Amino acid sequence: MGGNLDKFTVTVDGVTYTGRDELVELNLTTGAGIYLQGPNDATLALAQEGNGFKVTAATDSRAATYTISIGLYSSLKAGGTLMVYVSETFSASDFVDGSYTTKLQDYMFVDQEWVEENANAVRGTDGCGNVTYTLNGETYYLIENDTMEIVDSEGNHVPRAATIFSVTVYDENGNNIASASL
Grouping H, G, I as helix, E, B as strand and the rest as coil, residue 98 is coil
Mean pLDDT of 137-142: 96
Provide the H-helix boundaries in the chain. 19-25, 112-117
pLDDT band at 40 (very low <50, low <70, confident <90, very high): confident
Across 23-27, 86-90, 142-146, least confident range: 23-27
Handedness of CA 71, 72, 77, 78 (dihedral sign): positive
Q: For residue 4, is pLDDT > 70?
A: no
Mean pLDDT of 19-42: 56
Mean pLDDT of 102-123: 95
Domain regions of the chain by residue span: 31-181
Q: For residue 182, is pLDDT > 70?
A: yes
Q: How many CB atoms within 10 Å of residue 21? A: 10
User: What confidence score (pLDDT) does residue 149 get?
Assistant: 85
Q: How many CB atoms within 10 Å of residue 105? A: 19
d(CA 109, CA 85): 9
User: What confidence score (pLDDT) does residue 23 get?
Assistant: 54
The winner for highest mean pLDDT among 16-30, 117-131, 148-162 is: 117-131
